[in-house]
């Protein structure tokens, strides 16, 4: 096995003389075999190794045993070791994640910190071929996309997986032959986790009763889907300048002009690259997003996980963490006077004047209205279903907002100024016709906000 491992490391240029490699070691068989092989290769290639171990504190004394084992073995083998300790259950609760997802995220963050601190060239992890088969099967059951079905990548930037082409059986045989020490993780036998059920129950059942080479076929499929994903990635990179605007939003028309397979790949890459999701989307999520982009309408959205939403607003697609913002609490303003509108960080000032100004035009910050019909105060509130004003005939505010292409999540943040049952001014947009200043107007009111009203991103 060492000869095959050595050849592979040299082919990938991962073992150039003087390379510094951080090795993620749990203490289990796979990572200990990886460390044994790298240690042997380091003598020949003058590699510099640093071991990183994270205690997840999930198995109590057993987790502490693993940490002590890795530390003592590294001392015996003459290797530097950096350990960390994290309360994964607490982290999972704080982030609203499963324990498994939280453990993976925290572990990779720890390894990345060590890699940066130690100025490492590579981070080597002990994933093997059976891990690939289990991952593909698990993602297939969950309805993964092409990106998800490619399995575990051999290399992802500085992360390398030198054992990925070796099956677990060969690794176990090598560990026995070389008498490599390791510890057993009791949670790997628990069938309460989906991956373990796939490993211990589902794949053995299929190989026993249906297809003896099922694992190997899954691994080949992972390679196949990886090749497809690579091709699609090239197409999405070429399309990016035409599809994504300077504001980082996707142009729906350009997006819909792509082949549907490229659209799925493009959207997934857009979300992963932007850090909006940490793992590939399911096929169902991508399908919903594609349909949303194809459907004509004002605005719609789909959840993509962890409080984030993919939103379509007219001709753009983008991600937001706050799909519907808080509305405006009703307040009253005396005339003359001013009042703060806390929800939008603005202030309305109302002034009286009895001579018309030179310019009566309204803008995003100011409006002049007929005050003869208004008493000693006005109210300010947010949009409510059924609100309407008179323009060229009666018009519901919902229709006014749609015609003006006001994003749905901003509509409740547009202040309405009124008196009695009437809306006088849709802040920053339109004065109600009965309140236009005319030659007969004796009392003119000036409504002025401290800042322009936001009707666009």
CA torsion angle 188 124 140 287 (round to 10): 130
Strands (E) across 218-335 are located at 250-251, 299-305, 308-313, 316-320, 331-334
What pLDDT is stored for residue 96 in this prediction? 73
Give domain limits for the chain. Answer: 2-214, 244-320, 331-449
Q: Report the C-alpha gap between 103 and 107 in whole angstroms.
A: 6
Tokens of 120: 């490492």
The mean pLDDT value for 323-335 works out to 78
Q: Is 421 helix (H, G, I), strand (E, B) or coil?
A: coil
Over 90: is that where the pLDDT of 121 sits?
yes
Decide yes or no: CATH 3.40.50.620 for domain 2-214.
yes
Q: Which CATH architecture has domain 244-320?
A: 2-Layer Sandwich (3.30)
Residue 281 · residue 268 · CB < 8 Å: yes
- Whether the per-residue pLDDT at 347 is higher than 60: the answer is yes
In terms of average pLDDT, the best of 121-130, 312-321, 403-412 is 121-130
From CA 25, how far away is CA 52, in angstroms rounded? 6
Q: Is the pLDDT of residue 299 over 70?
A: no
Over the stretch 222-268, which tens digit does the pLDDT of each residue have? 999 999 999 999 999 999 999 999 888 999 999 999 999 999 999 99
Instruction: Judge contact between 232 and 205, C-beta under 8 A.
Output: no
What's the whole-number mean pLDDT along residues 205-215?
Answer: 95
Q: Is the pTM of this model over 0.85?
A: no
Burial-class residue 145 by CB neighbours within 10 Å (0-12, 13-18, 19+): buried
Q: What is the pLDDT of residue 345?
A: 85
Please indicate whether residue 311 or residue 416 has the higher confidence score (pLDDT).
416
* Structure tokens, 446: 């000036």
The average pLDDT across 169-186 equals 95
Q: Report how far residue 457's alpha carbon sits from residue 453's, in angstroms, rounded to the nearest whole number.
A: 11
Same fold, 2-214 and 244-320: no
* Percent helix, strand and coil across the chain, each to the nearest 5: 45, 20, 35
* Mean confidence (pLDDT) of the chain: 90
């Amino acid at each position: 096995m060492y000869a095959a491992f050595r050849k592979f490391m040299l082919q990938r240029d991962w073992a150039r003389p003087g390379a510094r490699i951080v090795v993620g070691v749990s203490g289990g068989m796979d990572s200990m075999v990886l460390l044994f092989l790298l240690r042997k290769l380091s003598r020949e290639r003058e590699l510099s190794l640093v071991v990183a171990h994270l205690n997840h504190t999930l198995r109590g004394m057993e987790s502490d045993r693993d940490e002590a084992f890795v530390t003592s073995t590294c001392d015996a083998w003459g290797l530097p070791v950096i350990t960390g300790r994290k309360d994964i259950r607490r982290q999972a609760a704080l982030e609203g994640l499963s324990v498994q997802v939280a453990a993976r995220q925290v572990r990779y963050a720890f390894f990345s910190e060590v890699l940066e601190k130690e100025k490492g060239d590579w981070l080597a992890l002990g994933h093997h071929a059976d891990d690939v088969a289990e991952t593909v099967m698990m993602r297939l059951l969950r309805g993964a996309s092409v990106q998800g079905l490619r399995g575990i990548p051999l290399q992802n930037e500085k992360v390398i997986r030198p054992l990925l082409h070796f099956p677990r059986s060969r690794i176990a045989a090598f560990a026995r032959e070389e008498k490599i020490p390791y510890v057993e993780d009791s949670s790997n036998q628990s069938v309460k986790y989906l991956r373990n059920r796939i490993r211990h129950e589902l794949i053995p059942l299929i190989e026993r009763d249906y297809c003896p080479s099922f694992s190997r076929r899954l691994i080949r499929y992972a390679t196949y889907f990886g090749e497809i994903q690579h091709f699609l990635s090239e197409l999405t990179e070429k399309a990016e300048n035409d599809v994504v605007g300077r504001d980082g939003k996707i142009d729906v028309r350009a997006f819909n002009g792509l082949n549907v397979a490229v659209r799925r790949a493009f959207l997934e890459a857009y979300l992963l690259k932007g850090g909006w999701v940490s793992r590939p989307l399911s096929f169902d999520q991508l399908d919903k997003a594609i349909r949303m982009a194809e459907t004509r309408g004002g605005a719609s959205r789909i959840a993509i996980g962890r409080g984030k939403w993919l939103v379509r607003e007219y001709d753009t697609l983008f991600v937001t963490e706050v799909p519907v913002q808080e509305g405006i609490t009703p307040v009253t303003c005396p005339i003359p006077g001013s009042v703060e509108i806390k929800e939008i960080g603005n202030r309305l000032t109302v002034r009286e004047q009895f001579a018309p100004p030179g310019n009566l035009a309204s803008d995003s910050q100011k409006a002049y209205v007929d005050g003869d019909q208004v008493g000693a105060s006005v109210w300010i509130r947010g949009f409510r279903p059924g609100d309407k004003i008179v323009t060229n005939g009666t018009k519901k505010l919902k229709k006014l907002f749609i015609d003006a292409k006001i994003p749905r999540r901003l509509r409740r943040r547009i202040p309405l100024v009124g008196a009695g049952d009437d809306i006088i001014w849709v802040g920053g947009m339109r004065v109600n016709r009965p309140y236009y200043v005319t030659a007969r107007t004796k009392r003119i009111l000036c409504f002025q906000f401290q800042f322009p009203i936001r009707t666009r991103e």
